[in-house]
A and B are shown apart, each in its own frame.
Chain A
């Protein structure tokens, strides 16, 4: 039989059942013990695992290392977590920093960092929060290669919830932006299983976090209801970039394969930067028109326009140079031609560079 101490007396601190008593000064406080639900989503399991690893890690470090963390914690005073300020201890700091390091794919560090690089706010120009898109633009450039974007979200299930800041959870860590764009639509749907609905409030905390340091300090608070299509700030309707990737095409045909496709238009008037790799299969002709169907492209590709460009055989194809064109149809027909024009044709080549997009 388990004998439980009574907590019905003034000087007692401890737990009995789900009740915990603690004594602060002359007063004793009772609180119910919090137990986390046993249900585990993969991301919850990963978070708990990181936390457990970091906690256990602290027990394995040397006394000298421990003193380093205690000293650093004392210098920092209080630690700002996503749920508010907490009193800083060496253990807290060790667990917090190493949890974020692990989140960023870094190993646990036993030594306190010599220099603290706190996370910082982000800037952005356009932000679409719609059922179809959650996209930031012009997020800016990271200050060092170790910086990542840490994004926490909370989609409020009810308009009656007026403050969702303490409920945000980590949605994703972006190693870098895509030319200033941060598109979290897919990560959002993967995490929550459904897109936002129009009018639903989305709370976000976003920061540039130094993944080596792992010290979360400042982050940008963003909370808006989902709109039908317009952006927060300039009011622009969502416009996709004039870009073609492997996801947009059917890359395999009987006689040739498109192994890589990355094509994008930039202004001035229209200049394309791109990199495309083609392999001709047995039975195919190297001076054929390599035609790949696409699934529909942004309207900027509105007519039969093309780039004439250099192409280079692979090392096995002795780096021979040829001239090809990349011709894009996007009105009634939906395909892309890559065609030999002149030079030494090869069965495996890459065409790349920056060229005017002309008729």
Chain B
């Protein structure tokens, strides 16, 4: 774990789970942003100071997910996130500021560039959904597991919908997924419907623990879930 105590947008300390190497870092955690804080209002981008001994002072572009406080659907989007001059930097988007405090979830890898050596193929591992059926069926997934980190992207033929299956909670039981990963991730769960004036996609938060994914939908989240749902994240093991 690393604790980021100073930033330029008036937030308190932030603790992130970390994997650090000079050429690859993975960070997991959540940052809460107050859009009416004077420091936030004047900031052009969000910056959090990394520990002085952080292994990577600069990275290529990565991602974070903004999850707003918009009623029910918590609309949000993907943000640019990168490391620069030993700071964790985030793009500032104000589209959902009127809904008050919002969260930024970071479950991402950071790499450097300029490599000219040889590459090997990325080893992938198979997963099985133990409770596959009407609720869960993969369309596409890729799962990479190393001793220290995992990477998982999944899209679905079947995924619970609020309309058919209610609020949940739902659990996708997996065989093969590392049981020592405990991470909270945003799930993109916009159904077929796009609401008028909607900005961003519908999001709910899921948790991977003991190799399984658990999540639920908010009350009245009528158009959430279904085969358009997906997630994409890196996580630190242990």
Q: How far is the CA of A311 from the CA of B93 in the complex (A)?
A: 16
Q: How far is the CB of B60 from the nearest CB of chain A, in Å?
A: 3
Q: How far is the CA of A180 from the CA of B112 in the complex (A)?
A: 10
Interface string of A247-271 (1 = CB under 8 A from B): 0000000000000000011111111
- Of the candidates B116, B120, B232, the one whose C-beta lies within 8 Å of that of A240 is B116
Contacts of B109 in A (CB 8 A): 271, 354-355
Indicate if the CB atoms of A267 and B201 lie closer than 8 Å.
Answer: no
Q: How far is the CB of A148 from the nearest CB of chain B, in Å?
A: 17
Interface string of A158-180 (1 = CB under 8 A from B): 00000000000000000000111
Contacts of A344 in B (CB 8 A): 190, 194, 201, 228
Q: How far is the CB of B125 from the nearest CB of chain A, in Å?
A: 11
Most chain-A CB neighbours within 10 Å: which of B23, B61, B78, B123? Answer: B78
- Of the candidates B115, B124, B200, the one whose C-beta lies within 8 Å of that of A241 is B115
Whether A300 is near chain B, meaning CB under 8 Å from some CB there, is yes
Contacts of A178 in B (CB 8 A): 114
Residue of A nearest to B142 (CB): A358
Q: How far is the CA of A141 from the CA of B95 in the complex (A)?
A: 36
Contacts of A181 in B (CB 8 A): 114
Whether B36 is near chain A, meaning CB under 8 Å from some CB there, is no
Whether A359 is near chain B, meaning CB under 8 Å from some CB there, is yes
- Of the candidates A270, A315, A319, A343, the one whose C-beta lies within 8 Å of that of B119 is A270
Contacts of A138 in B (CB 8 A): 114
Q: How far is the CB of A323 from the nearest CB of chain B, in Å?
A: 5
- Of the candidates B63, B116, B201, the one whose C-beta lies within 8 Å of that of A343 is B201
Q: How far is the CB of B110 from the nearest CB of chain A, in Å?
A: 6
Contacts of A309 in B (CB 8 A): 232
Contacts of A310 in B (CB 8 A): 63, 78, 232
Whether A239 is near chain B, meaning CB under 8 Å from some CB there, is yes
Whether A220 is near chain B, meaning CB under 8 Å from some CB there, is no
Indicate if the CB atoms of A353 and B113 lie closer than 8 Å.
Answer: no
Residue of A nearest to B141 (CB): A308
- A interface, size bucket: 35 or more
Q: How far is the CB of B194 from the nearest CB of chain A, in Å?
A: 6
Contacts of A36 in B (CB 8 A): none
Whether B165 is near chain A, meaning CB under 8 Å from some CB there, is no
- Of the candidates B23, B142, B227, the one whose C-beta lies within 8 Å of that of A356 is B142
* Contact (A323, B155) CB under 8 Å given A273-B61, A342-B227: yes
Indicate if the CB atoms of A354 and B142 lie closer than 8 Å.
Answer: no
Indicate if the CB atoms of A354 and B111 lie closer than 8 Å.
Answer: yes
Contacts of A308 in B (CB 8 A): 140, 142, 153, 155, 232
Indicate if the CB atoms of A265 and B63 lie closer than 8 Å.
Answer: no
Q: How far is the CA of A239 from the CA of B63 in the complex (A)?
A: 29
Indicate if the CB atoms of B113 and A273 lie closer than 8 Å.
Answer: yes
Which residues of A (267-287) have their CB < 8 Å from a CB of B?
Answer: 267-271, 273-275
Indicate if the CB atoms of B188 and A343 lie closer than 8 Å.
Answer: yes
Whether B71 is near chain A, meaning CB under 8 Å from some CB there, is no
Q: How far is the CA of A275 from the CA of B139 in the complex (A)?
A: 25
- Of the candidates A300, A318, A323, A352, the one whose C-beta lies within 8 Å of that of B199 is A318
Q: How far is the CA of A318 from the CA of B58 in the complex (A)?
A: 30
Indicate if the CB atoms of B155 and A179 lie closer than 8 Å.
Answer: no
Q: How far is the CA of A358 from the CA of B95 in the complex (A)?
A: 34
Contacts of B48 in A (CB 8 A): none
* Contact (A269, B123) CB under 8 Å given A321-B201, A354-B108: yes
* Contact (A321, B198) CB under 8 Å given A273-B111, A354-B60: no
Q: How far is the CA of A264 from the CA of B61 in the complex (A)?
A: 11
Q: How far is the CA of A180 from the CA of B58 in the complex (A)?
A: 12
Indicate if the CB atoms of A356 and B144 lie closer than 8 Å.
Answer: yes
Contacts of B115 in A (CB 8 A): 241-242, 265-267
Whether A320 is near chain B, meaning CB under 8 Å from some CB there, is yes
Whether A329 is near chain B, meaning CB under 8 Å from some CB there, is no
Most chain-A CB neighbours within 10 Å: which of B24, B109, B115, B230? Answer: B115
**15 residue pairs bridging A and B, Cβ less than 8 Å apart:** A126-B116, A179-B112, A241-B116, A267-B117, A267-B119, A268-B111, A270-B121, A270-B122, A312-B78, A319-B199, A323-B153, A341-B140, A343-B230, A352-B61, A352-B78
| Residue positions of A touching B, CB distance < 8 A | 126, 137-138, 141, 178-181, 236, 239-243, 264-271, 273-275, 300, 308-312, 315, 318-321, 323, 341-344, 352-359
Given contacts A137-B116, A273-B111, A343-B188, 19 further A-B contacts (CB under 8 A): A137-B114, A178-B114, A267-B23, A268-B111, A269-B119, A269-B120, A270-B121, A275-B61, A318-B198, A318-B200, A320-B190, A320-B194, A321-B200, A341-B140, A342-B139, A353-B62, A355-B151, A359-B121, A359-B124
